[in-house]
């Protein structure tokens, strides 16, 4: 089955939530790393910039107490009216990879049926608008010295510093952020600036 193409960035709690959604939707998915969002100022800045750029972000956390706390924190740091809240139903159970259920005894995002998640996202699917996203590729990154070669991590760090993104971003995470935030022309302008700084 084809993935649903989602215009807005999607915020989830953890790695396994992102893996699950990656199989269902074509979207820019950002993790809070659970309560890690409380300590990561650069991640908060990135989420604010995404909310400003796209006008909306979709938040999908687990339906337990921790999910509610994270969702509440996001409401406090993102512009008013920028959050589209999606909620999973309260379904008793535990994820296959876990030895015991969560404290609430409910399935999290990663444990939800794919069809259920697909229906949650269907109203936000719009393949025409998604095509307007950035088109920087992994090959561009390699050719521009941002991955796979000597000095690539230092160049990525300079790029991040120049545009105010978290400096410890991996090549894949930076590529995803650039495609959410910048056009190809803006990307090359930043590359020129960091070359001039050296």
| Size of the chain, expressed as the number of residues it contains | 198
What is the predicted pLDDT for the residue at 131? 41
Say if CB 152 and CB 146 are below 8 A apart: yes
Question: Taking 50 as the threshold, does the pLDDT of residue 130 lie above it?
Answer: no
Contact 18, 29 (CB under 8 A): yes
Instruction: Report the mean per-residue pLDDT for the chain.
Output: 85
130 or 182: which leads in pLDDT: 182
pLDDT digits (tens, 9 = 90+) for 3-13: 899 989 999 99
pLDDT value of residue 96: 77
Q: Report phi then psi at 164, rounded to 5.
A: 75, 30
For residue 91, count CB atoms less than 10 angstroms from its CB and return exposed for 0-12, middle for 13-18, buried for 19 or more.
middle
- pLDDT value, residue 133: 53
Which is more confident, 64 or 126?
A: 64
Please give the pLDDT value at position 125. Answer: 85
Note the CATH number of domain 4-130.
Answer: 3.40.1360.10
pLDDT of residue 101: 67
For 63-69, which contacts have Cβ atoms below 8 Å and span 24 or more sequence positions? 63/87, 63/88, 63/89, 63/90, 63/104, 63/106, 63/108, 64/102, 64/103, 64/104, 64/106, 64/108, 65/103, 65/104, 66/13, 66/34, 66/35, 67/13, 67/108, 69/35
Please state the domain extents for the chain: 4-130, 138-197
pLDDT category, 51, cuts 50, 70, 90?
very high
Q: Is 159 helix (H, G, I), strand (E, B) or coil?
A: helix
Tell whether the model's pLDDT for residue 127 goes beyond 70: no
Residue 12: in which H helix or E strand, if any? strand 10-12
pLDDT at 167 over 80: no
Average pLDDT over residues 147-168: 85
The DSSP element (H or E) to which 139 belongs, if any, is helix 138-143
pLDDT digits (tens, 9 = 90+) for 23-43: 999 988 999 998 989 998 888
């Amino acid at each position: 089955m084809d993935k649903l193409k989602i215009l807005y960035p999607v915020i989830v709690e953890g790695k396994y939530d992102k893996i699950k959604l990656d199989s269902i939707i074509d979207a820019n998915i950002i993790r809070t790393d659970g309560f890690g969002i409380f300590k990561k100022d650069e991640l908060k800045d990135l989420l604010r910039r995404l909310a400003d750029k796209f006008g909306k972000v979709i938040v999908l956390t687990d339906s337990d107490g921790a999910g509610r706390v994270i969702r509440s924190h996001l409401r406090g740091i993102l512009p008013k009216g920028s959050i589209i809240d999606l909620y999973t139903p309260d379904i008793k159970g535990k994820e296959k990879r876990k030895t015991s259920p969560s404290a609430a005894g409910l399935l999290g995002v990663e444990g939800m049926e794919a069809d259920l998640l697909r229906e949650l996202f269907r109203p936000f699917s719009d393949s025409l608008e998604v095509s307007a996203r950035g088109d920087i590729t992994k090959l561009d990154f390699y050719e521009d010295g941002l991955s796979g070669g000597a000095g690539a991590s230092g160049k990525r760090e300079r790029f991040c510093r120049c545009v105010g993104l978290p400096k410890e971003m991996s090549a894949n995470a930076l590529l995803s952020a650039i495609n959410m935030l910048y056009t190809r022309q803006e990307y090359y302008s930043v590359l020129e600036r960091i070359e001039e700084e050296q």
